[in-house]
Amino acid sequence: MANRRNSETHARGNSARSKSMGPVRSCLVDNNNMEKTFVEKSSLEAYGYFFDRGKLVSLENGRPFQFNAYPHDEDNQKRYHAIGRLVDNYIYGLLENECHLRRIPIPVDARTGEPTSFFFASDNFLDAENLMIIIHGTGVVRAGQWSRKLIINENIQVGSQLAYIMKAQELGFAVIVTNTNLNIDESSRSIHQRPRFIRGSESPEDHGCYIWENFVRQSSARHICIVAHSYGGAVMLEMASRYTSDFDKRVLAVALTDSPMKAYIKRAHPNVLRILRKRTINWVGSKSKANTNLGDREYGQIRSAGHTSHEWTSFTSFLAVFQFIKSEFSQIQRYKNTT
């Protein structure tokens, strides 16, 4: 779904860009021949890549991304991370331009010079009756991503959250896309100094709870769905633990993808587990067919994601996740119609 939207938006621009990139290609070839160590660049094109119909490919020959560009692994790793940061910004642009979300800075009362973070949300997220909160896992991923590795090596459809966002919007949900891994000031003036933590986003859990405290609690949403991958389950659990009553009243469904909840629930309050158990499914890595019931746990049901690789589980469980959400929503609608 996201690929079709991306191709419509970027195909024309990429075609025009390709025609005008002749000198840049020549420069890239010369630079690659001359450079023996990594030098950071300011754009994907400067590295010789661009997104074509959602896939990162070479400007020179259209081939997929190649990790090895320098003699030393350290330089290749630096290059990979630098390209990854540019991919972050590219995905941010898609959230704004393709999904029509807006970037919301936090903390809400930031002082001059204070480091800030942000998340993305629909224009109507404070007024909508139905709200979906999307939470990625830990590591280098940022808002809009399930897996940076899959975005770079496969495509945007597989590794990003765009399909989830667009489907949620299609079903009438406003959307919040969290950015739980942006915890410190990453500006150039601070990267060589002691880390400056962002108030309210010092950790992924703090970030999620800051959004709940300052935005979700103030919203009109009566029906909330949470979709969380991997460590996003821990963030969801902290939300449920800190805002138990509000969570119980308004959260309709919790869809997890390969979240190791057994490790996270060890200190969870029994009442929180009771609340989760009646509305949570965790699609885990498995060889079984997607959506196969694999049993019950203290916090809810587990089902197969239809893939054994952790980073693929959000993509392969997409249809099952929305089948679950639509089913839970239908039950609410039927209850409303009989009362």
Q: How many CB atoms lie within 10 A of CB 42?
A: 9
Q: Which amino acid is at 320?
A: A
First to last CA, the chain: 37
Is position 230 annotated as part of the catalytic site?
Answer: yes
Catalytic pick among 219, 230, 304, 317: 230
Burial class (CB in 10 A: 0-12, 13-18, 19+), 25: middle
Q: What is the largest CA-CA distance in the chain?
A: 74
Q: Which of 159, 171, 217 is nearest to 325 (CA)?
A: 171
Sequence-separated (6 or more) residues with CB below 8 Å from residue 42 = none
Chain centroid offset of residue 269 CA: 28
- Residue 163 and residue 147 in contact, taking contact as beta carbons nearer than 8 Å: no
**CA distances, 278 to each of 47, 213, 216, 293, 299 (Å):** 49, 24, 21, 15, 8
Nearest to 283 by CA among 310, 248, 253, 262: 310
Q: 328-331 — which CB contacts under 8 Å span 24+ positions?
A: 328/225, 328/252, 328/253, 328/279, 329/130, 329/171, 329/223, 329/225, 329/252, 329/253
| Angle between helix 73-97 and helix 2-19 axes, rounded to 10 deg | 110
Would you please indicate which residues are annotated as catalytic (active-site) residues? 230
